[in-house]
Structure 1
């Protein structure tokens, strides 16, 4: 996912450094804790098992899952020769701040490698799920429901993590809505089919607005604050793309700006973008 001006978000007030992995700086937005608190508050009417389950699931497990997803984007970015600037973990997931790729094909590769990291994660959780399920039920059947934490806490954690990875992979990869990974892939495919940047952007915007509006409406219906926030954020980033089209500067927008070449220096030198916009932030 890409958005103009995203460089400021990486080092915005309220973010704290968590160190680095493979030379990639990792930062955490303090509002991530607010999202965890909301998840925990949703379980306070239940037993302490449910509260602890929510704390684990939407705290360290979600944090690690999203971090691995973003590292997948970073690995792919380096593979195509573009620079990686850092990862931000924030309330709506994660953002990998990377340099622009050299074209739609390499951009698709970078976009796909984030969601695909959920496959090995699901395999690991599934390997833990099988003996846990057998210990509880005495057989090796598999059912999709998350176990009640009060009935079997560990099995509920494992099954919850398994579903979390499946959901994040499907949500990011299968929804053709900008700024999700699926939306980037959709826009890149339009370009590869021969459409111009403006027409591709207009189609991307139309699809993204429909999907984001649906997510927003669903969040309001379910009274799910984070779902509403995701829908609103998608609409906001899509509006930025719309503004670029309206101003005739769509090729300056990170979604349609391809300038990095293999072997490029660590700081991208794009003459048409100011320094604070020479990033592409990917979910």
Structure 2
């Protein structure tokens, strides 16, 4: 999709929750089209694992939405283990779909989706970055608190130790990254940001340059001084 947007891939970021391609399309909606393919891919892979689980599961196995391993999985032998793996893989794909669509934090795809849509709506680059950053802080703080509450309450419906620990790490990481973006905007260094400093956010989808935009990332130029 990036090549269809006449873009040159500059970098690819891989991390435990997915990947992010850094490239230079000529308008923000081009970035949205590429970014949204990441979450959409989880729909197809999740559907495959769902079908596998339905085909392999035994009558006494839990529902598809259960993300834990049960004795029924183990007692069903190799087929049960494959069914359990398919069920857990489905749950992970569902979680990744939601995270990459709703959590606007770098390097997740949502930050580019939100940024592209806000930029296309006419918001300035600084306002777009701040809105995205504050939304990220709010959402990630909620995830962080949810994880801690789940640990202290030991509530089964909120997940186990592994799940809640993941919520804490993800929420804390996202809140810190979002706060760093706020500081970057306040320091007038948004042109150095990996997402908002790219040239595609300097113009709207119609090709019109917008106020507060930067055409391309530029490093600060130090003043030359005579040494006496």
In structure 2, the CA distance between the partners of 1:112 and 1:271, relative to structure 1 (3 Å rule), is closer
CA distance in 2, matches of 1:94, 1:137: 34
Is contact 2:9-2:24 (8 Å) kept? no
Q: Indicate yes or no: 2:160 matched with 1:232.
A: no
- Structure 1 unaligned spans of 5+: 1-75, 261-269, 275-283
Q: Indicate yes or no: 2:88 matched with 1:160.
A: yes
| Among candidates 124, 129, 137, match of residue 59 of structure 2 | 137
- Structure 2 unaligned spans of 5+: 152-163, 201-214, 220-228
As a proportion of its length, which structure holds more strand?
1
Tell me the equivalent position of 1:213.
141
**Secondary structure, in 3 states, of the residue corresponding to 1:273?**
coil
CA distance in 1, matches of 2:66, 2:167: 21
| Among candidates 248, 265, 273, match of residue 218 of structure 2 | 273
TM-score (norm 2): 0.69
| Among candidates 110, 119, 130, match of residue 34 of structure 2 | 110
In structure 2, the CA distance between the partners of 1:86 and 1:186, relative to structure 1 (3 Å rule), is closer
In structure 2, the CA distance between the partners of 1:189 and 1:85, relative to structure 1 (3 Å rule), is closer
CA distance in 2, matches of 1:194, 1:88: 28
Q: CA deviation at 1:172?
A: 1.1
Return the index of the structure with the highest Cα Rg: 2
Q: CA deviation at 1:111?
A: 1.2
**Secondary structure, in 3 states, of the residue corresponding to 1:145?**
coil
Q: Indicate yes or no: 2:44 matched with 1:120.
A: yes
RMSD: 2.7
In structure 2, the CA distance between the partners of 1:242 and 1:217, relative to structure 1 (3 Å rule), is same
Q: CA deviation at 1:168?
A: 0.9
Deviations 1:46-104 (A, max 9, x none): xxxxxxxxxxxxxxxxxxxxxxxxxxxxxx333323333554544x4233342233221
Deviations 1:142-192 (A, max 9, x none): 64324623243222111111111111112211x153333223212221111
CA distance in 1, matches of 2:195, 2:12: 18
- Which structure has more relative contact order (CA 8 Å, sep 6+)? It is 1
Q: CA deviation at 1:117?
A: 0.9
Q: Indicate yes or no: 2:179 matched with 1:257.
A: no
| Among candidates 102, 113, 122, match of residue 185 of structure 1 | 113
Is contact 1:107-1:188 (8 Å) kept? yes
TM-score (norm 1): 0.57
CA distance in 2, matches of 1:86, 1:254: 10
